[in-house]
């Protein structure tokens, strides 16, 4: 009976999602180029946040390695962009990021709490400073030029990555693996005792989330034209997905999407109007959200709907 009731809701939500993506696919046909570039940045942050939530949401392992995977995708595009077509570059960027995440996961996903957070952030900083040292001392130049692409092309590729990431996140959440991941987040020792291969599952999910982060980095590099380690491995790409997910709410897939979209637009406005204070404003917003909206915007909306009903 419950399944029969939820089926029309599922079909209607699927139809609404298809309609939204169809609308987004037509946007470059009738809006100005600035809005296309802005929406590309919004989709980039949504992909980073949703990818982060694929792993950190159910397991409750806070990862700050997003900039490492994003930067790997950026440098993959810089190295291979002149010799391979862009779809292959994006896919290979995702694969390289997944391999890196898998290796990191094997080494670090036995750690918990603050130790895991510090290690993942340390990996991002290590890669940034190592590449900076390598280019300075071994090549004699810092940074690389990347084959540029039209803003509309970057927009469509980023939209496609967002769509695939959303589908994968939904399928994972509704699968047995998603249930196993949530059991790890609730009580990891109990999950281990009932036969779940905790370390392998965490590592594979960590690698899956890194695939989309690196793929996003590979296509975004073509918009920037010139990249260096400070651009590719910007620490903001590690912290912003966490802030956006908390702001939107981690419990549901819509939370990271809403939080990332609002924060990305807010970032654009604040950088334009308050270029020296926008990070301070972000910090204040985060503190207020943690104090008054522990479940994010989605939790607030859900609570309001329960009261009204």
What are the tens digits of pLDDT across the range 295-306? 777 767 766 666
Q: Report H helices in the chain.
A: 2-26, 33-59, 66-80, 86-108, 114-134, 151-173, 176-186, 188-193, 198-224, 229-232, 236-248, 254-273, 278-292, 296-308
The pLDDT of 5-29, averaged and rounded, is 68
pLDDT at 12: 54
* Reported pTM: 0.89
Q: What is the pLDDT of residues 19-39, one digit of tens each?
A: 877 888 888 888 888 888 999
| Local confidence band at 10 (pLDDT 50, 70, 90 cut-offs) | very low
In this structure, of 113-122, 148-157, 221-230, 276-285, the range with the lowest mean pLDDT score is 276-285
| Local confidence band at 252 (pLDDT 50, 70, 90 cut-offs) | confident
pLDDT at 15: 67
| Local confidence band at 221 (pLDDT 50, 70, 90 cut-offs) | very high
| Local confidence band at 5 (pLDDT 50, 70, 90 cut-offs) | very low
In percent, the amount of the chain with pLDDT more than 90 equals 29
Q: Is the pLDDT of residue 251 over 80?
A: no
Average pLDDT value over all residues in the chain: 85
d(CA 68, CA 233) in angstroms, rounded, equals 6
Q: Which residue has the higher pLDDT, 44 or 194?
A: 44
Q: Is the pLDDT of residue 7 over 60?
A: no
Q: Is the pLDDT of residue 239 over 90?
A: no
| Local confidence band at 209 (pLDDT 50, 70, 90 cut-offs) | very high
Which residue bears the tokens 């503190």? 287
Q: Which residue has the higher pLDDT, 255 or 46?
A: 46
pLDDT at 45: 94
Q: Is the pLDDT of residue 187 over 90?
A: no
Instruction: Say which residues have a Cβ less than 8 Å from residue 146's Cβ, sequence separation at least 6.
Output: 74, 77, 78, 81, 221, 222, 224, 225, 226, 227
d(CA 309, CA 98) in angstroms, rounded, equals 44
Distance between the two ends of the chain, CA-based, in angstroms? 22
The pLDDT of 126-151, averaged and rounded, is 86
pLDDT at 305: 66
The pLDDT of 68-80, averaged and rounded, is 93
DSSP assignment letter at 31: S
pLDDT at 147: 86
Residue 163 and residue 43 in contact, taking contact as beta carbons nearer than 8 Å: no
The pLDDT of 59-87, averaged and rounded, is 91
pLDDT at 1: 41
pLDDT at 2: 45
Which residue bears the tokens 């996961």? 105
| Local confidence band at 54 (pLDDT 50, 70, 90 cut-offs) | very high
Hey, where are the domains in the chain? 1-30, 34-235
Q: Is the pLDDT of residue 99 over 80?
A: yes
């Amino acid at each position: 009976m419950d399944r029969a009731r939820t089926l029309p809701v599922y079909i209607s939500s699927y139809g609404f999602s298809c309609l939204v993506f169809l609308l987004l696919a037509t946007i470059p046909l009738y809006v100005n180029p600035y809005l296309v570039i802005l929406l590309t940045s919004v989709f980039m942050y949504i992909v980073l946040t949703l990818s982060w939530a694929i792993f950190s949401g159910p397991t409750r392992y806070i990862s700050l390695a997003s900039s490492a995977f994003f930067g790997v995708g950026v440098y993959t595009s810089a190295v291979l962009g002149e010799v391979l077509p862009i779809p292959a570059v994006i896919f290979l960027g995702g694969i390289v990021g997944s391999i890196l995440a898998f290796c990191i996961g094997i080494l670090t996903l036995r750690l918990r709490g603050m130790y895991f957070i510090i290690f993942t952030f340390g990996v991002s900083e290590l890669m940034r400073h190592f590449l900076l040292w390598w280019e300075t001392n071994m090549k004699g130049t810092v940074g690389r030029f990347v084959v540029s692409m039209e803003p509309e092309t970057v927009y469509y590729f980023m939209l496609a990555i967002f769509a695939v990431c959303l589908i994968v996140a939904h399928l994972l959440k509704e699968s047995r693996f998603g249930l196993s991941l949530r059991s790890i987040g609730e009580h990891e020792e109990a999950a281990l005792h009932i036969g779940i291969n905790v370390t392998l599952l965490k590592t594979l999910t960590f690698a899956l989330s890194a695939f989309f982060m690196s793929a996003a980095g590979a296509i975004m590099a073509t918009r920037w034209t010139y990249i260096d380690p400070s651009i590719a491995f910007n620490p903001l790409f590690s912290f912003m997905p966490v802030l956006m997910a908390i702001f939107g709410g981690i419990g549901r897939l819509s939370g990271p999407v809403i939080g990332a979209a609002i924060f990305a637009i807010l970032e654009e406005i604040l950088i334009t109007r308050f270029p020296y204070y926008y990070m301070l404003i972000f910090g204040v917003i985060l503190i207020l959200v943690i104090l008054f909206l522990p479940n994010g915007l989605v939790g607030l909306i859900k609570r309001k709907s329960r009261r009204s009903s």
